Structure 1
Amino acid sequence: MSFSKWIGAALGWSFGGPIGAIIGLALGSMADAIGAEERIGQRQYRQYQEHIPTQPGDFEVSLLVLASIVIKADGKQDRRELDFVRQQFVSMYGKERANHAFRLFKEIGKQKHISTREVCQQIRHMMQHASRLQLVHFLFGIAKADGVATQEEERQIHIMAGYLGISAADYESIKAMFYKSSDSAYKILEIDKNASNDDIKKAYRKMAKKYHPDKVIHLGEEHRDGAEAKFRQVQDAYEQLQKERGF
């Protein structure tokens, strides 16, 4: 499949709005993407507020744009972070589709002025909450790909989470999956250390429902592994507290 056909078939609502503008600029320097660029130009000013179902490609492109912002947050592009993005896309989409996505990712990364707020607001308006949680989980994975997330990378993800409509509790829960500490199990379950055993059980049921892989099944099977990894973290946190407290 050519790049033009891939990008033309992949997107729904992200053809419009701020994300569409970013994609259009990125495609402008790619000679074999002229057809896709023209289609974006024709739809560029369509109000993205209209109801258009989220396509798997919408999540894919949203991820590319946000990942490019995070990777540049500390003023440099670490090869390990870039490799992490490529590897994740290969595992999710296969080599050919991943190569197309990574080409677009590199072109997006060359843009100097991307409005984090506008991009996140478009995603927040159009994308389901469970999918937005999955975006934040992936972004932390990128930030930690080189062994440590810098303060600037973490700050950028925190800003994005706020714009995406992710609560402070949900943000800290996902963050705790990547920063292990004595209370990370409690943070993952969104409770404090003074919680009773019954509170822990209730929290586990709530979080298991919130992070269940079926919540993002509309994004396609390629995203199931990432969703299951997040879900297992909730299970592991609960089992850890069961063992520590003996219930």
Structure 2
Amino acid sequence: MEYRRHEQPGCGGCFLLLLLLIFLLGGVKALGLLVFLVLFLLLSSIAAFWAFTFYVKRQISAYEKSQTETHNTFVSLLINILVKIAQVDGKVTRDEVKIIRHFFQYNLRYSQSQLYWVKELIKEALVSAASLDSLLQEFRQKFAYEPRLILLELIYQVLYSNDTVSEAELQLAQNIGNYLGISSYDQQTISAKYKAGYSTAAPAEEVLEDKHYTILGLAKGASFSDIKAAYRKLSMQYHPDKVAHLGDEFKKVAEEKMKEINNAYEFLKRKFAQ
């Protein structure tokens, strides 16, 4: 029979013994003072919590009012969709919630007031009964093709913020792209860029060239006429003016995407000029 150690006894009655000792040594006044201090600390903690909650709600309300309905709807649907993706394995871990928050904090450079709002939206999304299909249907009805591209781009950014990306998550991202009516070419352009960023091993120059072809959605060795055609198409789709109505942070996402597209085109143009 395996020997099992006995657990050390707790001290459930220690507080009662302390009160009795204070009563014996200091009388009723000392005991009353202690009770007063305990109640004061308890009420102070409750008041501080209420004040902070009130402050946060005021910050959230003020920020929401400062933004357009389109912006607020876009962010709300984005967060709900990200949470549904995290629930693909049946649960959402703290790390997955942290990744979503960090995405808004570091990728989109949200301020503290904006992050209060994001945290509230995540809490609501975690208990929402809305299905992923209904969220995507609403998104498709309310937003044109270019915002859908930005949504898919952001989904891949969040997925690849994690140390590992499961096949189930990648398949779900592809299904989302299909549901939103995003062409196979555009889906491949987005997904391939992030997959390429995950791979390592090849000479730096070769990796760089492959990356630029991938950004333009082309296979290595494509003709310069194909490169120009891809560049023109992507430049029209990701022009920042087409998503400016979503808010400054998403306009910046489009601007960063345009920088990638321009850099890829200029790099490959120089290669063909040699």
TM over 0.5: yes
Supply the RMSD in Å over aligned alpha carbons: 2.7
- Correspondence 1:103-122 to 2 at 5 A: 103-111=120-128, 113-122=129-138
Match in the other structure for 2:17: none
**1:131–1:216: 8 Å Cα contact kept in structure 2?**
yes
How much does 1:98 deviate? 1.9
How much does 1:243 deviate? 4.8
Paired residue secondary structure (2:195): coil
How much does 1:236 deviate? 3.4
1:97 equivalent to 2:132? Answer no
1:211 equivalent to 2:211? Answer no
Compared with structure 1, are the counterparts of its residues 219 and 232 closer, same or farther at alpha carbon in structure 2 (3 Å cutoff)? Answer: same
Amino acid aligned to 1:87: H
Amino acid aligned to 1:106: K
Match in the other structure for 1:238: 265
Match in the other structure for 2:73: 58
Match in the other structure for 2:85: 70
How much does 1:3 deviate? 4.4
Task: Note the alpha carbon deviations across 1:32-89, whole angstroms, 9 max, x for none.
Answer: xxxxxxxxxxxxxxxxxxxxxxx11111111011110122224454555433322333
**2:83–2:92: 8 Å Cα contact kept in structure 1?**
no
Compared with structure 1, are the counterparts of its residues 56 and 95 closer, same or farther at alpha carbon in structure 2 (3 Å cutoff)? Answer: same
Amino acid aligned to 1:121: Q
Paired residue secondary structure (1:99): helix
Match in the other structure for 1:167: 183
Amino acid aligned to 1:68: V
How much does 1:207 deviate? 1.0
How much does 1:245 deviate? 4.0
Paired residue secondary structure (1:191): coil
Q: CA separation in 1, counterparts of 2:134 and 2:182?
A: 15
Provide the TM-score with structure 1 as the length reference.
Answer: 0.71
5+ unaligned residues in a row in structure 1: which ranges?
13-54
Task: Note the alpha carbon deviations across 1:133-191, whole angstroms, 9 max, x for none.
Answer: 11111111111111232111111111111111111111111112211166553343233
Compared with structure 1, are the counterparts of its residues 83 and 228 closer, same or farther at alpha carbon in structure 2 (3 Å cutoff)? Answer: farther
Compared with structure 1, are the counterparts of its residues 145 and 74 closer, same or farther at alpha carbon in structure 2 (3 Å cutoff)? Answer: farther
Identify which of structures 1 and 2 has the higher relative contact order when contacts are C-alpha pairs closer than 8 Å and 6+ apart.
Answer: 1
Match in the other structure for 2:14: none
Provide the TM-score with structure 2 as the length reference.
Answer: 0.65
Q: Among 218, 227, 233, which residue is 1:200 paired with?
A: 227
Compared with structure 1, are the counterparts of its residues 77 and 228 closer, same or farther at alpha carbon in structure 2 (3 Å cutoff)? Answer: farther
Amino acid aligned to 1:166: I
Amino acid aligned to 1:237: A
**2:59–2:113: 8 Å Cα contact kept in structure 1?**
no
5+ unaligned residues in a row in structure 2: which ranges?
1-57, 200-206
**2:216–2:261: 8 Å Cα contact kept in structure 1?**
yes
Paired residue secondary structure (2:262): helix
Taking every aligned residue pair, what percent have the same amino acid on both sides?
30
Q: CA separation in 2, counterparts of 1:118 and 1:188?
A: 31
User: Larger helix proportion, structure 1 or 2?
Assistant: 2
Amino acid aligned to 1:103: E
Paired residue secondary structure (1:72): helix
Compared with structure 1, are the counterparts of its residues 96 and 131 closer, same or farther at alpha carbon in structure 2 (3 Å cutoff)? Answer: same
Q: Among 130, 133, 150, which residue is 1:134 paired with?
A: 150
Query: Highest CA radius of gyration, 1 or 2?
Result: 2
